[in-house]
Structure formats: C-alpha cells, structure tokens
Amino acid sequence: MKPIILLALLTLPFNAHANQWLQFRGPSGSGYTDAALPTEPKVAWELDLPGKGLSSPIVVGDKVFVTASSGPNQDRLHVFCFQAADGANVWERQFWSTGRTMCHDKTAVAAPSPVSDGKRILALFSSNDLFCLDLEGNLLWLRGLTSDYPNASNSLGLASSPVIADGVFIAHVENDSESFAAGISLENGKNLWKKPRTKRANWTSPLVVKAADGKELVALQGSEGVDVVHPATGEVAWRYGEGASTIPSSAVDAEGNLYIPSNGLTAVKAGADGGAEQLWRVGSMRPGTASPLVNDATDRIYVITNANVLSCGDLTDGKRLWRMRLEGPFGACPVANDTHLYACNEKGLVQVIALGEDKGEVVGTLELGEMIQCTPAVSADGVFVRSNGKLWKLQ
Amino acid sequence: MRFLPFSFFTLAALPLMATELPEPYQEAIETMKAVRNEGAGNEAAAEAWKQVIQGDAGMVVPLLEAMGDANGLASNWLVSAAQAVVDRELGNGNALPLDAIGAFLMDTRQDPDARRLAFEIIERVDPDTAAKLVPGMLSDPSNALRRDAVAGLLAQGKALRDGEKAAGASILYRQALGAARDIDQVEEASKALRELNQEVNLPEHFGFLMHWSVIGPFDNTDRKGFDTVFPPENEIDLDATYDGKGSKVSWSTLTSTDDYGMVDVNKAYGELKEVTAYTYTEYESPTDQPAELRLGCKNAWKIWVNGALIFGRDEYHRGMRIDQYKLPVSLKKGKNTILVKVCQNEQTEDWTVQWQFQLRVCDATGTALLASNRPPSPVADKTPNNS
C-alpha cells in the first residue's frame, strides 16, 4: 500500500467524510472541515423551526438533523430530520421534557447539539432528556437524566454537547449540585459507568482525543482543568489540573494534543505520569465564548476573543501570526477549511474570512437577520445554520 | 375523511374505559409503560414501539389513553409512537378516527398532555373545528389547552380597550385572569386590569404563602450549612432560642408584601453572607388532598412538609422564576407544617445579594389551593419581582 493511501485511511475518521458532520464542531470536534466553503454564501433554502434552539445541526449523509423546544415553558422537545438537498421534512419526533426547562434567556432547552454514529441520532436537551433514534426516526431508547439524578440541572441551562467515543455515548453534566459524567450504551441507553464531577456550573463540551496507541479517549473540561478518560470505563488516562474555562471548550489536533482555554490558551499533551506536559501557553490568546479552532493541515489555531478579535496562531508554539477585528458579538464557534473561516455573529451576520499567511480578510458576508448562536454544520454541498426560528442552507 | 360532531357532555361520572386492542398491541403498550429510570425496560420498549407503529390509525387513541397512568419516560415512548402513526397515516392520505380522537379530547379525566396532542391532531386535520373548540376550553383542567382560550380573551380585551370600551375590556381581562395559569398571561391580564383601575390580588391568584416565621442566621461558612442539621430541623418551637452564627437567635415574623410572594430574608437580617435561615408556616387544608408546592429560589434550599424532607438543592445564584421547582406533596386535612431552609453563600457580586424565595400551593394544573386559615393578603407591591 502506498504511504499516502495509508495516511489517508488512518485519518479517515477525522476528515474524510465530507457529507458527515456528526457532532458539535464537526468531525475533528474542533471546527475544521475539509469540505469547500462558499466564499460568497447565498441562501439555498430556508425553513421555519418551532420555538427555540441554539444547538448545531448535524449532517448524516443526505439528511440534516436539528433539535428545538417549544411551548410556553419550552417543554415540548423536537427532533427533526430534513433532506439536506431541499430542506424537505422527512420526519419529526416530539417528546415532553421530564427535567427542568428553566434557562437563561440567551440559551435554550435545545442547546446541546445532537450527535450521531452514522446509524443513530442521539438528541440531548438541557432538561437532560436524551433520545436515541435511528435514521428513519424509530425510537431506540430514551433516558431522563434528571429523572434519574434529580439535582442534575442548572437553572441557567445546560449546554454541553455530547460525543460518541469508541462506541460509547458520553454525557457530561456538570452543574453546582449533582455533577456527573457517564458513559452510556448506544445499544440500550444503560449506564456503562457514571462518575461524579466537580460541583461547578460548566457549559463546555467533551472532545474525542486520539491516544498514542490510536484508541479514542474523551477530554472532559471543567473549572479544575481537563480529565482525559477512557470512554469504556470513565477511568482517567491523564489529567491537566491547572484550571480551565467553563464556557469555551478546548480544541484537539490529530495527535491528541489539547488546546485548552486556560490561563489564556494552553497547549498540552499527555505526560508520562498521568499528568499533562505543557507544550506552550499564550496569555493573549484567550478565547471568548467561542471555542478555538485547530487546523492540522496548516498548523494554525484560531481564537475569537470577547473583543471580537480573530487571532491566528502557530499551532506548534502558539505564537500569534496575525489578528483582525470582526463584527461581533459571537456565541457561535467558527468553522474553517484550509483557506476560509466562517464566523456567524449574534446579529445574524455571516462573515467569511480568507485565511492568509500574514493576515485575514473578510471576503464575503451574508445577513441572515436573526440572532445566530449555533455553530454551523458543513457538508460537501453546503453550510447549515440555524436561529431560534429558522434553518438555512448556504451555498 | 371521517368526522363526527363532538359531544360536550361531561364524562366525569363515567368510568375511565380503555379502548380495547388486540392482545399483542395491548401487551406492547404495557411494555412501553414499564420503562423506568436509568434505561430499565428500553430494549423491550423499542421492540414494542416498532410493533405498535405498524398498527393502523386505530392505535392513536389507545396510545394516548395509555399516557394516563404512565410515567414521564413511558409517556415519551407512547406519544412518539402515536405521532409516528399519525404522520404515516396522513402521509399516506388515510383518514384518522377524528370522532374517537375528539371524544378523547373532550374527556377531561384523560392525561392533559395527551389531550393537548389530541387537539393538535384535530387542528392539523381540521383547523376550523379546532378553532371552534378553543373558547370552550377556558376552564379546561389541561393548562396547555386552556392557554389558547385565555389568549383569545386577552386579544378581545385588548381590542375593546383599544376601542375605549373600558368596562367591557375589564370584564374580559378579569375572565382571562381567572382562567390564566401561565405567568405571561397572568401578567398581561393583571397589568391591563390595573391600568384600567381594577383591583388584582395576585398572591391569592397564585396561592403564594405570604406569612412566615423566620429564624437565623445560622452558619453557612464554606457552604457547609446546607447539610448541617440546625435545631429547627429537629423541632419547631417558636418560643425557643438557639445558638446562631455569632449570637443567640429566635423566631420572628416575616411577611411578604410582594405581588409574586417573594419572601425576602434580607429584610429580617440584612444582607449577610455565608448564613442559613429557616422560615416556617402552617397551612390548614380543608381536606386530604394531593398538591404541589411550587418554589422559586436562587439560593440553596430544603423543604419539609409535616416534618418530612421533600427535596433540597444546593445551587446558588443561577437564577430563579415562579414555579422553578414543582414538588408533589400530600396534604392532610387540618394543619400542615411547612419548613423552608434557605442558605446564602459567600459570593460578593451584586447579583448574589438576594436571599429569598417564593412558594405557593396549587394543584397539578397550577390552580391555587388556598388554605382555610389563609390571612388576607398583605398590601401588595405593584412592581413584579420575579426575575
């Protein structure tokens, strides 16, 4: 086998599925796509969504899946399946929340993004209701994690988007009262493990991390740092203990190095003794609400600050290469390929930035006219963005 | 498409009869109803779900009926199956048994959420008929159904008010307020009534408990007071004196004058930090009855009813709202004691000053259950304080 083909196969889970955007922040979990991004985006289609939601769409093959909540108490929970090509409604399932639906006005019960293993859709809501459906909309199992663990909730709302690692669904439910992480069977929804976590509100999302042996681990970020755990058992493989943000999540590269919103931005890798070895730390690269974006192909890392400044850094040493001011504010994480980055602000403005060696330049914009807080999903033929009331496909 | 007129007679005196199904389907429904916490019963329920959605449109009403005594998890299996059948049948151009679905909707003994779904099915197929049903639901036990009727009244009241027909507007707003259970509709109706110079008693409308005895401060350094058993958890003696945080403490009275029943402990002790207080009241129930205590609180709290701990939560300053926590309880005829522990933490930001809660007694629909010993409501502040 030629080396280049072998390399392509080895990187298959991360970047090769242009029609798969199976989780929050895409295949890598860090916002990178190898798909083309339209530089002058236009609306290919739009459709109405009920109620509220800021979860990201996900794309599985030719379908796009979106969650929402509705009703005066936001206790009607929706899972939609649309045709990616034309936005046709393929199916919808509705449920009632079994947990608390109270949350801050700027977030929603449909805040966590759904996740898929390519065969199933797993939709988690801030109410801690969790539904597993197949791609045809058949309900396979469900959980009410607040029904199970009655103080597992956050009165500001939960937002951690789950991941699937090594065939295990990972729920990361950190709050001030009954915090836990759990590995849940994709087959029947039962706990494989459940571990207590720090009692501190936390809105960050787990990341799937490649270990040196090629196996998948899961990074759980919280106020005390990051625990990288084995998905099958929840046992800690290695730990970074110098504190971390509870809003923007970390990013990860293909080698399993983590870029953590901690003391600015801190890059670490697994240490020899179950700890973390620091690669670099740059105080000025502090992410705002949006999580950092890593591009392995170009060795770049991108951060959007609370001052709406997009900074491009060298992935190898964290050195800032250039920065530019965007029009904010930003709740959504950016997505990017090797040449362009999408930044959607809360005013509904999509900004397309050409990523140069020494500067960035806004080369395209699109005004969607509604508050955008979701991180876009990217497929081979379009970009999917949602507001509370709309889902757009951009081309 | 089949359609028969609905019957509006009351069904309350009739026994609740489940629609009969072939045995395999009935077993499948029972399998879904057997789902419990932590995923118990999911695998069997998934097989049952696939089985029932193969059934024809006649499956819809039995699935809705089954929600009546199903837990919340099981209800989600049932409601999603009913929806799957409806979507398939309508997608195939088939008729739904609207007469049976309508009869189910009219049967107020059935599950409120299931009845709401029945209404939405009718609305989807025959919106004109659904619209005609709405005004008749003003007093429906399902809040999700009465909401549309209240909205209609509010719109009519506004139209009259805009037309400078104040008397008529007041009547409609008063009727809307009487039926409203959702906070946004209560606020809209009460605001309009007050602007029309009408008296509104919101504490009584909601059933907020306004009169309390309070004792504190006890210690909550390092948030340890939440799990510390201070004397009021062992005995209620309103004449007693105990060692508190830095001084002797004894019971005093604390009365809310807030429209939304806010009990402000800071008014008793000042803006303290790392402290715990207890508030106590007695509720005379005219009968043995199920009820809900509905609490709003941004401090850590515990609640005991008749000496039994109902629930507690150690979250601080993440927000509060009316009906934030819904706590089912059984009230006994006569005196019931209610003890609330409310803890303040160490945070010093200006949004962490509040040391307060709001507590009401109502039924499962949110309708106030007023105590037979309820004193007149204190003169209410006019400014809502429920943020």
pLDDT band at A3 (very low <50, low <70, confident <90, very high): very low
Q: Scanning every residue of chain A, which has its alpha carbon at the shortest distance from the alpha carbon of B143? A: A72
Q: What does the alpha-carbon distance between residue A377 and residue A355 come to, in Å, rounded to a whole number?
A: 19
Shortest alpha-carbon distance between residue A125 and chain B (Å): 14
Instruction: Name the token pair of B66.
Output: 């089954």
Name which of B46, B73, B325 is nearest A147 (Cβ-Cβ). B73
Instruction: Name the token pair of A239.
Output: 């730990």
DSSP state of B261: -
Q: Scanning every residue of chain B, which has its alpha carbon at the shortest distance from the alpha carbon of A136? A: B84
Name which of A72, A92, A139 is nearest B77 (Cβ-Cβ). A139
Q: Scanning every residue of chain B, which has its alpha carbon at the shortest distance from the alpha carbon of A133? A: B46
Assess B301–A contact: CB distance below 8 Å, yes or no: no
Task: Determine contact, residues B263/B254, Cβ cutoff 8 Å.
Answer: yes
At A286-303, the pLDDT tens digits run 999 999 999 999 999 999
- In chain A, what are the domain boundaries? 22-394
Q: Scanning every residue of chain B, which has its alpha carbon at the shortest distance from the alpha carbon of A94? A: B80
Name which of B39, B83, B147 is nearest A190 (Cβ-Cβ). B39
Name which of A141, A176, A191 is nearest B46 (Cβ-Cβ). A141
Name which of B39, B83, B325 is nearest A143 (Cβ-Cβ). B39
CB contact under 8 A, B325 and A177: no
Q: What does the alpha-carbon distance between residue A64 and residue A59 come to, in Å, rounded to a whole number?
A: 4
CB contact under 8 A, A100 and B324: yes
Q: What does the alpha-carbon distance between residue A23 and residue B34 come to, in Å, rounded to a whole number?
A: 32
B1 pLDDT above the threshold of 80: no
Length, in residues, of chain A? 395
With beta carbons under 8 A apart, name residues in chain A contacting B311: 150
A170 pLDDT above the threshold of 80: yes
At A299-357, the pLDDT tens digits run 999 999 999 999 999 999 999 999 999 999 999 999 999 999 999 999 999 999 999 99
CB contact under 8 A, B318 and A188: no
The pLDDT score that the predictor gives to residue B380 is 55
B258 pLDDT above the threshold of 50: yes
- CATH 2.130.10.10 assigned to A22-394: yes
Interface test with A, best of B43, B73, B80 (most A CBs within 10 A): B80
At A42-76, the pLDDT tens digits run 999 999 999 999 999 999 999 999 999 999 999 99
Task: Determine contact, residues A97/A77, Cβ cutoff 8 Å.
Answer: yes
Model ipTM? 0.94
With beta carbons under 8 A apart, name residues in chain A contacting B87: 91-92
DSSP codes, A124-170: E-TT-EEEEEETT--EEEEEEHHHHSTT---TT---PPPEEETTEEE
Q: What is the mean pLDDT of chain A?
A: 95
At A150-169, the pLDDT tens digits run 999 999 999 999 999 999 99
CB contact under 8 A, A177 and B45: no
With beta carbons under 8 A apart, name residues in chain B contacting A93: 80, 83-84
CB contact under 8 A, B46 and A190: no
DSSP state of A52: B
The pLDDT score that the predictor gives to residue B108 is 95
Task: Determine contact, residues B260/B385, Cβ cutoff 8 Å.
Answer: yes
Instruction: Name the token pair of A369.
Output: 């006219």
With beta carbons under 8 A apart, name residues in chain A contacting B73: 98, 142-144, 147
Assess B321–A contact: CB distance below 8 Å, yes or no: yes
The pLDDT score that the predictor gives to residue B176 is 98
% of chain A exceeding 90 in pLDDT: 94
The pLDDT score that the predictor gives to residue B21 is 83
The pLDDT score that the predictor gives to residue A18 is 60
% of chain B exceeding 90 in pLDDT: 91
Radius of gyration of chain A (CA): 19
At B121-154, the pLDDT tens digits run 999 999 999 999 999 999 999 999 999 999 999 9
Task: Determine the residue type at A394.
Answer: L
How many beta-carbon pairs under 8 angstroms link A with B?
105
Name which of A94, A95, A177 is nearest B315 (Cβ-Cβ). A177
pLDDT band at A175 (very low <50, low <70, confident <90, very high): very high
CB contact under 8 A, A142 and B76: yes
Q: Considering only A312-326, B14-28, B133-147, B278-292, which range has the smallest mean pLDDT?
A: B14-28
The pLDDT score that the predictor gives to residue B24 is 85
- For residue B98, give the H/E element and its range: helix B98-106
Task: Please give the C-alpha separations between residue B156 and each of A177, B138, B166, in angstroms, as whole numbers.
Answer: 45, 14, 12
CB contact under 8 A, B80 and A94: yes
For chain B, the 3-state helix, strand and coil shares in percent, each to the nearest 5, are: 40, 20, 40
pLDDT band at B16 (very low <50, low <70, confident <90, very high): low
Name which of B40, B80, B182 is nearest A95 (Cβ-Cβ). B80
Burial of B162 (0-12, 13-18, 19+ CB in 10 A): exposed
B103 pLDDT above the threshold of 90: yes
Shortest alpha-carbon distance between residue B13 and chain A (Å): 29
Rounded to the nearest 10 degrees, the angle between the axes of helix B166-179 and helix B143-162 is 170
Shortest alpha-carbon distance between residue B288 and chain A (Å): 27
Q: Considering only A17-31, B179-193, B311-325, which range has the smallest mean pLDDT?
A: A17-31
The arithmetic mean of pLDDT across residues A265-272, rounded, is 96
Q: What does the alpha-carbon distance between residue A80 and residue A58 come to, in Å, rounded to a whole number?
A: 11
